[in-house]
Amino acid sequence: MDVVPMLEKPKDERAIRGYAILAKGDEPKQLKENVFRIPSQNFKKYYYVTNRNGEWHCTCPDHKYRKVACKHIYAVRFWIALKQKLEKQEIEETEPIVCKFCGSPDAIKYGKNGKKQVYKCKNCNRKFVNNGDFLKLKYDPRIITLTLDLYFKGVSLRKISDHLKRFYNLRVHYTTIYRWIEKYIQILDEYVNTLKPELSDSWHADEMMIKVDGDWRWLWNVMDEGTRFQLASVISRERKN
């Protein structure tokens, strides 16, 4: 099969949703050792995520009826992984905080702004907040996660740009949106690749014709029947093995 390279999305879009939950500030609350509470993104209610003998469960309809790892489970797993990583960095103190204005590593803790740690640079005497992966982006992280959500719902880059202009009065070129998506797909994909999917015994293959640079190609998708986990996605020139 003659395969044409393509930019792939992470294979499980629920992982994207889970990351977006944390990025917008809705962190889980640990109630017990293996019990977590997380707010619903659509209703004024909470869902409860639990880990029983290594298996994750959630009270949301997506997990209850589809028996899949829902976005709430992913959010909790992301949160635990990030928390462990931050705790390890805090203990080891191997990576100094670098001033985002002058680049100096000579920065000290200088109180908090809400839940965020504020730092003060001894070199340029300016204060700043370390925003991790969003540090170099001038837009609110919630806007970035909104663009990711719209993109994975099938909205085009130009329509996303128009949406930000009409509803948020932000002028963001569609190429900038593409760079956001390209960057965060890589970040999420690195984490998703460390996860072992729970697959059933039946897989489904689907094919459809699409246009690539004016020529017709075949798009192939392979999905697990039970979990709806996308196993593969490739483009070929011909409809044959």
Digit-coded pLDDT (tens) for 17-70 = 887 787 666 778 899 889 999 988 777 889 999 999 889 999 999 999 888 889
Task: Work out the pLDDT band at 172, boundaries 50, 70, 90.
Answer: confident
Give the domain-ending residue among 132, 149, 171: 132
Q: What is residue 63's predicted lDDT score, i.e. its pLDDT?
A: 92
d(CA 218, CA 232): 14
241 found inside a domain: no
pTM of the model: 0.42
For residue 160, give the amino acid letter: I
29 found inside a domain: no
Count of domains for the chain:
3
Q: Which residue has the tokens 């499980």?
A: 12
71 found inside a domain: no
And the tokens for 186?
């890589």
Q: Are residues 189 and 143 in the same domain?
A: yes
Q: Are residues 212 and 173 in the same domain?
A: no
Contact 78, 70 (CB under 8 A): no
Residue of higher predicted confidence among 60 and 83: 60
Q: Are residues 187 and 209 in the same domain?
A: no
Q: What angle do CA 75, 78, 84 make, to 5 degrees?
A: 140
Q: What is residue 208's predicted lDDT score, i.e. its pLDDT?
A: 83
d(CA 209, CA 39): 40
Phi, psi of 147 (to 5 degrees): -65, -40
- Say if residue 95's pLDDT is above 70: no
Residue of higher predicted confidence among 194 and 57: 57
Q: Are residues 154 and 128 in the same domain?
A: no
Q: What is residue 4's predicted lDDT score, i.e. its pLDDT?
A: 32
Share above pLDDT 70 across residues of the chain, in percent, rounded to a whole number = 74
Q: What is residue 219's predicted lDDT score, i.e. its pLDDT?
A: 83
DSSP secondary structure string for all residues of the chain: --EEP--PPPS-HHHHHHHHHHHTT---EEEETTEEEEE-SSSS-EEEEEEETTEEEESSHHHHHH-S--HHHHHHHHHHHHHHHHHHHHHH--SPPPPTTT--S-EEEEEEETTEEEEEETTT--EEE--GGGTT--S-HHHHHHHHHHHHTT--HHHHHHHHHHHH-----HHHHHHHHHHHHHHHHHHHTTS-----S-EEEEEEEEEETTEEEEEEEEEETTT--EEEEEEESSS--
Q: Are residues 204 and 215 in the same domain?
A: yes
Domain that holds residue 108: 101-132
CA-wise closest residue to 108 among 99, 98, 119: 119
69 found inside a domain: no
Q: How many CA atoms lie within 13 A of 104 on its CB side?
A: 15
Sheet holding 203-212, edge to edge: 3-4, 230-236, 215-224, 203-212
Torsion from C-alpha of 85, 89, 90, 92, nearest 10 degrees: 140
Q: What is residue 94's predicted lDDT score, i.e. its pLDDT?
A: 45
d(CA 34, CA 30): 8
